[in-house]
């Protein structure tokens, strides 16, 4: 079942599976090597040793999580309950908790004991971010990887997987316009136009007027248009019977768009323009412009279609 992200103002819950944007997680003695030592070869990993009975741990934990999330993927946080997992704490000679260690490139590089002020935690995280940058490692690469993975999921039809990953990114960066737009595009692709409209209406003020969301609004407008198009086989039959039935060809283009056949939809509109560019008050060209806004102006199909349209206009 396709699940909606929470409404604006509440953070989306991260899925159980770890992803490229999953910057805070719990671990065990058994998983410590993979979650900390191996993971730290790519990005600094902070380890928070805590226990359920420890009052100072409960004070420090949220402060570290806040600082790590603010670093936007440049560092990760791994939490380990020393009551349930005493082995690693013993090996590192942890004598009291909370105890915090930082690992980078497979070895411990820094740490502190006890509940310290938020300013000190922030300075600790900032120092690790700087250390990673000096080594040529940063959070942007991780974020780019997450977006690429989410886009690949969408294109492969795994809309729920893409939604989960975009939601993880938004959890770390509540005003990340690319993640916000990605969630709305998932909803549009799933045909959930009402919730897509609601998400756009609730966009944070800082990103509400961003060009990326303008493109998504255009995509929603086109999707709403396409929702009223007739069945593809019937429309194809009408166009085959009368190639100059531009109204049926236009409806066919919208039905193809609704079915995810973007290039075929573009071809039908170009065919109308080729046969009668003035039809319906330049309707084919105007609809292509809406498609360009929906796809995004740097989308390969937009670039290709603009070139084809220009050739037709000036031939």
Active site amino acids: 54, 57
DSSP 75: S
Q: What angle do CA 61, 42, 134 make, to 5 degrees?
A: 95
Q: Which helix (H) or strand (E) segment is 183 a member of?
A: helix 177-189
What's the CA gap between 236 and 113, in Å, rounded? 71
- What is the Cα–Cα distance from 241 to 210, expressed in whole angstroms? 45
Residues 263/301, Cβ–Cβ less than 8 Å: yes
- CB of 309 within 8 A of CB of 288? yes
| Lookup: tokens for 123 | 């300075």
Residue 51, SS3 per DSSP: coil
In contact, 60 and 97? CB cutoff 8 Å: no
């Amino acid at each position: 079942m396709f699940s909606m992200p929470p409404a604006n103002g509440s953070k989306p819950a991260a899925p159980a599976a770890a992803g490229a944007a999953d910057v805070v997680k719990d671990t065990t003695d058994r998983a410590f090597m993979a979650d900390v030592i191996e993971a730290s070869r790519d990005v600094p990993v902070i380890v928070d040793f805590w226990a359920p009975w420890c009052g100072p741990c409960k004070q420090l934990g949220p402060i570290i999580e806040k600082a790590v999330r603010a670093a936007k993927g440049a560092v990760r946080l791994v939490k380990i309950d020393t009551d349930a997992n005493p082995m690693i704490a013993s090996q590192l000679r942890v004598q009291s908790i909370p105890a915090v260690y930082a690992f980078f490139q497979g070895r411990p590089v820094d740490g502190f004991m006890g509940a310290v002020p938020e300013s000190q935690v922030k300075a600790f995280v900032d120092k690790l971010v700087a250390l990673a940058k000096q080594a040529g490692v940063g959070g942007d690469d991780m974020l780019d990887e997450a977006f690429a993975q989410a886009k690949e999921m969408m294109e492969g039809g795994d809309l729920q997987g893409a939604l989960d990953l975009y939601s993880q990114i938004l959890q770390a960066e509540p005003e990340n316009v690319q993640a916000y737009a990605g969630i709305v595009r998932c909803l549009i692709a799933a045909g959930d136009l009402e919730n897509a409209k609601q998400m756009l209406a609730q966009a944070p003020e800082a990103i509400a007027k961003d060009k990326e969301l303008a493109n998504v609004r255009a995509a929603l407008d086109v999707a709403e248009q396409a929702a009223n198009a007739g069945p593809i086989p019937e429309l194809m039959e009408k166009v085959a019977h009368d190639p100059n039935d531009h109204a049926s060809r236009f409806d066919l283009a919208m039905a193809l768009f609704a079915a995810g056949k973007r290039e075929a939809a573009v071809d039908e509109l170009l065919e109308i323009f080729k046969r009668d560019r003035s039809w319906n008050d330049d309707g084919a060209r105007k609809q292509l412009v809406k498609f360009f806004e929906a796809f995004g102006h740097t989308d390969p199909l937009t670039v290709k279609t603009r070139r084809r349209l220009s050739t037709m206009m000036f031939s």
